[in-house]
């Protein structure tokens, strides 16, 4: 991923800044700039998510893509944020601990590195709530 492509999504990736439609109140993460319900009547504004959610489904990736190969097996999940939308993320926990329905919260972490001399991609992962 090029620097510009990564850089323009830094608020979203670092701080879970999504969007919200002020017309119907629906929240979007990943952010959308067009509300599928209200369409042209929709009014989209930025919204910072609380970072709290629940695991909807998960897997443990044993065969990782090259840029994630150094991570070893990692937990990949779809979580439902408390505000409503669902997103795909990594969960930092012992793979044996992950469970559907588990409560999680967001943390700032390194996601991947573009080779040895490429940029480091930071972003949001989730950890179990104690």
Write the DSSP symbol of residue 119. Answer: P
Report if residue 78 touches other proteins, rule: CB under 8 A: yes
The residue within the footprint of other proteins, chosen from 9, 27, 47, 105 (CB under 8 A), is: 9
- Binding segment (CB under 8 A) for other proteins, from list 19-27, 39-47, 50-58: 50-58
Q: What is the DSSP string of 71-91?
A: G-SEEEEEEEETTS-EEEEEE
- Binding segment (CB under 8 A) for other proteins, from list 19-27, 45-53, 120-128: 120-128
Name the residue among 120, 89, 118, 119 with its Cα closest to residue 104: 89
C-alpha to C-alpha distance for 31 and 6, rounded to whole angstroms: 15
Report if residue 63 touches other proteins, rule: CB under 8 A: yes
Report if residue 77 touches other proteins, rule: CB under 8 A: yes
The residue within the footprint of other proteins, chosen from 26, 53, 90, 104 (CB under 8 A), is: 90
Name the residue among 7, 5, 6, 27 with its Cα closest to residue 18: 27
H or E segment and range at residue 104: strand 103-113
Which CB, 69 or 129, lies closer to other proteins? 69
Interface ranges with other proteins (CB under 8 A): 1, 9, 13, 30, 56-66, 68, 71, 74, 76-78, 85-90, 95, 100, 111-112, 121, 123, 125
């Amino acid at each position: 991923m090029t620097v510009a492509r990564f850089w323009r999504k830094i608020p979203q990736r670092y701080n879970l800044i999504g969007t919200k439609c002020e017309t119907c109140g629906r929240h979007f993460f990943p952010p959308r700039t067009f509300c599928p319900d209200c369409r042209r009547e929709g009014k989209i504004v930025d919204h910072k998510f609380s970072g709290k959610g629940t695991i909807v489904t998960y897997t443990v990736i044993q065969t990782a893509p090259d840029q994630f190969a150094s991570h070893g097996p990692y937990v990949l999940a779809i979580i439902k944020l408390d505000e409503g939308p669902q997103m795909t993320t990594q969960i930092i926990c012992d793979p044996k601990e992950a469970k559907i329905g588990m409560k999680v919260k967001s943390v700032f972490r390194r996601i991947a590195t573009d080779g040895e001399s490429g940029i480091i991609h930071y972003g949001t992962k989730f950890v179990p709530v104690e």
